[in-house]
Amino acid sequence: MPTTDLLTVALGHAERGWHVFPLRPDDKRPAFPDHTADDCTGRDPRCRAAGHHLGWEPRATTDPDRIQRAWAARPYGIGLACGPSRLVVVDLDTRKDSSAGPTGLDTLAALAAAHGAAIDATYTVTTGRSGTHLYYRHPDDGPALRNTAGTLGPMVDTRAHGGYVVAAGSTVAGRPYTVDLDTDPAPLPAWLAELLAPAPLPPQRPVVVDLGTGRAGGYVRAAVSREVDRVTTAASGERNRALYIAAVALGQLVAGGALGEDDAQSVLEQAGVTAGLRTAEAYRTVRSGLTAGSKRPRTVAA
C-alpha cells in the first residue's frame, strides 16, 4: 500500500481514539525504538527528550501532526497500542489442518454457550493468516486487563495493556489485514472480563531495608519512598513505565554506593506487584531500569 494510503488509514484509526505507532514495513515489529531498554544510550531523540528509555507503547499517539510526520517518511505498517486505546482485542487463530482440533472461533463459541451468551457484533479484522481480531472496549471499572496466551482455551489469545495488534490497512509478509465489520467496538462482555481478570495477589510481606541514619540515610529514605509512590500511584497503563523510571533513579544511587542493589530490587519489585504488575514483568522492568541507572552513578553527601 502506498505511503499516502497508509497515512490516511493511520489517521482514521487515530480519529477513533486509537493510539497508533509505526511498524516496520510489511512486518509485525515496531519500527521505533530500534533498541531495548538495556541498550538505551540516549542517542534516540525521543529517549533523550524523555530522560529515559521510551518504548513503543508511550510513543503511540492520536496526534495527527506526529502521525503525518511518521508516515510521510516511509510506508510503515500500523501498530495499535491496546492499553492507551482502552481496547481488549481477542485474537482467534485458525488451523492449517481442519482435523487437528478446534479453531479459535470454535473455542470462543463454546465458551460463550457455556455462559449462556452470544458473540455480539463488534469491530472485526481479518488477519493476514485468515485469523480474526475482535475489538472490544476495555471495562471502565475493575483491574487493568493484560495480554493472555491460551488462557481462554486453544487458539485464543488476547491483547490489552502492554500489548498491541497489527491494525487493518497494514500487511505482514505481503498478507493484508482487512476490516471485516466496520462498527464501534462493543463493550467487553462481563463473562469474558471475569475470565481474563488477573488472579488476586497473594498477601505481600513488607520489604525491610536498612538505610542507615543521618543526613545521607534520610536522603536515600526519601528517594526510595518517592520512587515507590511513583509506582504505586501510577495510572493504569502507566505502571510499567513508572516502575522503569523509578528503577533508573534508584539504580543511580546503587551505582553511587548509597543503596544496595538487592534492596533496590526487592523494594521496587514489591511496588510493581502491589501496583498490579505480574511478578516476572516487574522483575524484568526493575532489572532493566537498574542497569540503565548504573550508567549514571549518583552519590549522596554524608
Look at residue 258 and tell me whether its pLDDT is greater than 90: no
pLDDT at site 138: 97
Give the pTM.
0.74
pLDDT at site 301: 63
Q: Which three cell numbers stand for residue 181?
A: 465489520
Rounded mean pLDDT of 163-171? 97
Which domains are delineated in the chain? 1-81 (no CATH), 82-198 (3.30.2250), 214-293 (no CATH)
pLDDT at site 20: 98
Look at residue 293 and tell me whether its pLDDT is greater than 90: no
Q: Which residue has the cell 500500500?
A: 1
SS3 assignment for 137-180: ECCCCCCCCECEECCCCCCEEEECECCEEECCCCEECCEECEEE
**CA gap 22, 73 in Å, rounded:** 11
- pLDDT tier at 68 (50, 70, 90 boundaries)? very high
Quick: pLDDT tens for 114-130.
999 999 999 999 999 99
CB proximity list for 211: less than 8 A, separation 6 or greater: 217, 220, 221, 224, 259
Count CA within 13 A, CB hemisphere, residue 102.
15
